[in-house]
Amino acid sequence: MTDTTSLWTPAALEAATGGLLHGDARAITGASIDTRTLQPGDLFFAIRGEARDGHAFVRGALENGAGAAVVSQDRAKEFADAGPVLAVAAGSEDPVLDAMRALGIASRARSSAGIVAVTGSVGKTGTKEALRHVLSAQGETHASVASYNNHWGVPLTLTRMPSSARYGVFEIGMNHAAEIVPLAAQVRPQVALVVTVEPVHIEHFRSLSAIADAKGEIFSGIEPGGVAIFNRDNANFERLLAHARASQAGRVISFGEHAEADVRANRIVTRPDLSVVDASVMGVPVTYQLGTAGRHTAMNSLGVLAVVHALGADLARAAISLAGLKPPVGRGERTALTIGDGAAFLVDESYNANPASIRAALATLSGIETSGRGRRIAVLGDMLELGPSAEQRHRELADAVRASGIDLVFTAGSMMRHLFEALPVANRGIAAATSADLVDAVLDSLRPGDAVMVKGSNSIRMGRIVEAVKARYAVGTDPREAPLKVAP
C-alpha cells in the first residue's frame, strides 16, 4: 500500500500489537470501538464493553467498511470470511483493549507533536476544546472527541493521532484514585494541566484533598523537563504543587487571580455572551476577549494561555483566537427567545451538573440582566455521584441561589427537591419527580424579559426541557439579537 493518508500501515499495526493480519489489507484511516459511529476505513477494536463484547459487532463493522477489525486470536477463525482482521494474543481479560493500548503507546512514541494532557474536576472538555480551537489556528491539532477520557477513551484517542499532528490535546478523567496514573503514562504529556479541584465524583473519595491527590497523578506521566500547570486560587494548590515537585516536571506554571499566579487575571469583565480578560502572562500584559460567558470559563482560559506559553506557541494569536471560542454543547450555549411580544434568554447547561458547575452557572446567570417583569430562573435536575453527602450538597445550593439573586427555581428529581424545600416560598417554582414532568410547567411560566438556565446531571435528561423551550420560543442562537440590557 502506498497510501499516504493511511493512519497505520499493516506492518506498523503488527509491530505495535504483536498481532497478525489476516485477509486483504484495506487502508486504515481512523479508529473506532463503536459500530454506530464507525467511519469507513476505521480500525475497529472489538473490546469488551460493559454490556456486550465487541466481537459481536465485528461482522457489522467490516460490512460497514472498517479498515480491519482487531480481534482476540481465539475468535479470529469466526471472521475468516468477513474481511481483514488483526488477531492479537488471547489470554488476558481484554486482549483487544491491551492491543489498543499498545497501539496508542506506539502512536505516542512516533509522534513529534507537542502533547498536552488536561484533567480536573470540572472544565476538562471545555478547556480541551478551547485548546483545540486555539492550537488549530497554529498547526495541525489532534484532540479527544467529547469526553473520551477513560481507560478506553485515552488509548483510542492516541491511536487516532496522525503522525503529522503538531499538537495533541488529551482529556484525562477519573472516578477513583490511581486511574490517572496509567493514562498519563500512555499520553506522556510535555504539558499537563489540572483545571481545578472540586467536590465532584466524591462518592469514591474521603476528602477534597484525596481528590486533589488523584488529579495530581497526571503529573506522574509528564515527560522529563515538562510543565505542570494548575490553579493558584484553588484551596489545594499546595497539594498539587507537591505532586508537581515529585514528578519529572521541570517547571510549574500557576494561573488564577492570586497575586503570585504566573498567568494572572487582573480584571475580568463578564457579559451575558462573552468576557473580557485583562491578564498578565508570565509578566506580559495580554488583554483579550473570550467568546464564552462566566468567570469560570475566564479562569479556564488562563489555563489555556499557560499551556500555549508552555508549548512555545504564539500567545498573541492564541489570545485573538479566544474571541471566536464557542461553548461546547450543553455547557453554556445561549439562545434568544421570543415570548409574546417580548424577548427572553435561554442558557443551555444541560450537559451535566455537580456542585461546582451549578454554582458557576448560577453566578453566570446572575450576570444576565432581565428586562421589564423578567426574572432569573434556574431549572435544576439532580446531581449524581455525590455519595452520602448528596442530600446536603443539594440543600446547600440554596446559598448560591440567594447570592446569585435567582428569582425562581424549578427542580427535577428527588435530590433537587431538598434544594427546593430549602428555598423561601417566593423563590419556588415547581418540584417535579422527573425532567419530563417539568417541561410544561417551565414552558407555561416563561414570560418576556426572563433569563432561564437549565442544568442537571446528564442522565436526568434536562436537555429535553431545553429542546421544548427552543421548539416553542427560539428565534436564534445569537444572544446579541436579544434586546436585553448588559450587566455592568
Window of 69-77, 121-129, 186-194, 357-365 that interacts with Mg ion by CB under 5 A: 121-129
SS3 of the chain:
CCCCCCCECHHHHHHHHCCEEECCCCCECEEECCCCCCCCCEEEECCECCCCEHHHHHHHHHHCCCCEEEEEHHHHHHHCCCCCEEEECCCCCCHHHHHHHHHHHHHHHHCCCEEEEEECCCCHHHHHHHHHHHHHCCCCEEECCCCCCCCCHHHHHHHCCCCCCCEEEEECCCCCCCCHHHHHHHHCCCEEEECCCCCCCHHHCCCHHHHHHHHHHHHHHCCCCCEEEEECCCCCHHHHHHHHHHCCCCEEEEEECCCCCCEEEEEEEECCCCEEEEEEECCEEEEEEECCCCHHHHHHHHHHHHHHHHHCCCHHHHHHHHHHCCCCCCCCEEEEEEECCEEEEEEEECCCCCHHHHHHHHHHHHCECCCCCCCEEEEEECCCCCHHHHHHHHHCHHHHHHHCCCCEEEEECCCHHHHHHHCCHHHEEEEECCCHHHHHHHHHHCCCCCEEEEECCHHHCCHHHHHHHHHHHEEECCHHHCCCCECC
Q: Is position 458 an interface residue for Mg ion (rule: CB under 5 A)?
A: no
- Residue 389: all three cell numbers together: 453527602
Return the number of the residue (85 or 174) whose C-beta is nearest ligand ATP.
Answer: 174
Is position 331 an interface residue for Mg ion (rule: CB under 5 A)?
no
Supply the minimum distance, in Å, between the C-beta of residue 257 and ligand ATP: 12
Determine, following the binding rule CB under 5 A, whether residue 201 of this chain makes contact with Mg ion.
no
**Residue 127 interacts with Mg ion (CB under 5 A): yes or no:** no
Residue with the CB atom nearest ligand ATP in the bound state = 123
Q: How far is the CB of 116 from ligand ATP (least distance, A)?
A: 14
335 binds, among ligand ATP, Mg ion, none (CB under 5 to 8 A by kind): none
Partner whose binding site includes residue 9, from Mg ion, ligand ATP, none (CB under 5 to 8 Å by kind): none
CB nearer to ligand ATP: pick between 54 and 123: 123
Q: Which does 352 bind (CB under 5 to 8 A by kind): Mg ion, ligand ATP, none?
A: ligand ATP
Q: Give the nearest distance from C-beta 147 to Mg ion in angstroms.
A: 3
Q: CB under 5 A: which stretch of 125-133, 293-301, 308-316, 408-416 binds Mg ion?
A: 125-133
Cell of 58: 465485528
With contacts defined by CB under 5 A, name the span among 10-18, 139-147, 244-252, 396-404 that binds Mg ion: 139-147
Q: Contact between 417 and Mg ion (CB under 5 A)?
A: no
Binding residue for Mg ion, selected from 73, 138, 147, 414, defined by CB under 5 A:
147
Q: Residue numbers of the site for ligand ATP (CB under 6 A)?
A: 120, 122-126, 147, 149, 173, 195-196, 296, 299-300, 331-332, 349, 351-352, 356-357, 360-361
| Cβ-based nearer residue to ligand ATP, 332 or 429 | 332
For Mg ion, the closer CB: 96 or 353: 353
Closer residue to ligand ATP (CB): 270 or 300: 300
Q: Which does 234 bind (CB under 5 to 8 A by kind): Mg ion, ligand ATP, none?
A: none
Binding residues for Mg ion, total number by CB under 5 A? 3
Q: Which residue, 87 or 184, has its beta carbon nearer to Mg ion? A: 184
Asked if residue 160 binds Mg ion (CB under 5 A), the reply is no
Instruction: Output 7 or 118, the one with its CB closest to ligand ATP.
Output: 118
The answer to whether residue 124 forms part of the interface with Mg ion (CB under 5 A) is yes
Residues at the interface with Mg ion (CB under 5 A): 124-125, 147
